[in-house]
Amino acid sequence: MYDCRSPALLRRAFFPATRRAALFFSLLLWGCTADKTPIDESAVFATGHVQNPAIRESSGLAGSSHEPRLLWTLNDSGSPAELFALADDGSDRGRILIDGASNRDWEDLASGDGVLAIADIGDNLGIHPFLSIYLIDEPKEPFPMAVPFRRIDFTYPEGPRDAEALAIDRAAGVAYVLSKRTLPPELYSVPLNADTAAGPIVATAHGAVTSLPGPGASPLPYHWQPTAMDISADGRRAAILTYEALYVYERTAGQSWPEALGNAPKSYPLAGLLAAEAVTLIGDHAFITVEGYGTSLYRIAIGH
């Protein structure tokens, strides 16, 4: 969810003096590696209107493992525990009620190999004792009620973090989470087969993602904050969405995703779209929704 607290306040809230000092030199270099090649803004276009009036804030987006033109989305914090199906033109395809889950602050959604991962990872004030990932089997129509087959509770090694971006590395069997308010954003991983019945596990920290532009790179407030992330089904691309642009990373042979996110991404400006919230990669396109009721569904061609 968009938050208009100042960057200075956020630094004080999440970085004690010693940690700010430790990050000083990485901040000097942050944002220097992004590909600044101009992209034709006409590449961003609306494919349709999100028609289901119950979708008041599409905060996560995922492509279906079963149907190439089916998408899944969810509402942000405080909404019922449910997922919505929609076609790639925004038309309504139904919903799933999720039994045994609660929407404290659902912020992202990922899919792969017939599984949907619901990211209950929002923590605007940095107060939650743990975060959760719900895994459900992706149903086929007609959509029944679903029950998570696993709930993964986790914490961060440095203490609370707010995050809105989660992606699944299918081959490695892990979920990656990218923090939103830390400067620079920090990457963590959580194994998808984790058993947290005895209590939350601690996510693995992979360090800062300094390939994204920093706060001073644009006059748009908070443009640098990551709001969504996805990894393509073939494991070749990753996308990170911010309030101002989409950044697409290519992974070379032998690279892990923490290494690949250090590569220079290709940037796709969002052509004035405000409060971009969700992204999913399907083939050579990225689909995006923005915060707010009655959003359109946008598509960006990201090439071969």
In a domain, 23, yes or no: no
Strand, coil or helix: 259: helix
In a domain, 25, yes or no: no
In a domain, 189, yes or no: yes
In a domain, 71, yes or no: yes
Average pLDDT on 177-201 reads 96
- Res 21 pLDDT > 50: no
- How many domains does the chain divide into? 1
- Beta bridge partner(s), residue 61: 73
Domain membership of residue 254 as a residue range: 7-11+41-301
Per the CB < 8 A criterion, the answer to whether 61 and 289 are in contact is yes
Q: Residue 10's pLDDT is what?
A: 30
Positive or negative, the CA dihedral 301, 226, 164, 250 is positive
- String of DSSP letters for 44-103: EEEEEE---TT-S---EEEE-SS-TTEEEEE--TTS-SEEEEEETTS-EEEEEEBTT---
- Res 265 pLDDT > 50: yes
- Res 114 pLDDT > 60: yes
Report strand pairing: 60-63 vs 44-49.
unpaired
What would the two tokens of residue 175 be? Answer: 């979920």
Regarding predicted confidence, which is higher, 68 or 186?
186
Give the best-scoring range by mean pLDDT among 29-38, 195-204, 295-304: 195-204
Regarding predicted confidence, which is higher, 7 or 93?
93
Q: Which residues of 292-304 are buried (b: 16+ CB within 10 A; e: fewer)?
A: eeebebbbbebee
In a domain, 285, yes or no: yes
Average pLDDT on 211-234 reads 90
CATH number at residue 200: 2.120.10.30
74 Rama sector, left if φ>0, alpha if ψ -120 to 50, beta otherwise: beta
In a domain, 197, yes or no: yes
Q: Residue 32's pLDDT is what?
A: 39
pLDDT band for position 293 (cuts 50, 70, 90): confident
Q: Which residues contact 234 (CB under 8 A, 6 or more apart)?
A: none
Q: Residue 122's pLDDT is what?
A: 97
Q: Convert the pLDDT of each residue in 68-88 to its tens digit.
A: 999 999 999 889 999 999 999
Per the CB < 8 A criterion, the answer to whether 209 and 184 are in contact is yes
Strand, coil or helix: 152: strand
- Res 216 pLDDT > 90: no
Of the candidate ranges 75-79, 118-122, 188-192, 217-221, the one whose mean pLDDT is the lowest? 217-221
Q: Residue 304's pLDDT is what?
A: 63
What would the two tokens of residue 35 be? Answer: 């590909």
Query: How is the beta sheet containing 131-137 ordered, strand by strand?
Result: 108-112, 115-120, 131-137, 150-155, 201-202
Average pLDDT on 234-260 reads 96
In a domain, 115, yes or no: yes
In a domain, 18, yes or no: no
Cα distances (Å, whole numbers) of residue 177 to 85, 219, 259: 24, 26, 15
Q: What is the largest CA-CA distance in the chain?
A: 55
- Res 115 pLDDT > 50: yes
Q: Residue 295's pLDDT is what?
A: 84
Strands (E), 88-236: 92-97, 108-112, 115-120, 131-137, 150-155, 163-169, 174-179, 186-191, 201-202, 204-208, 226-231
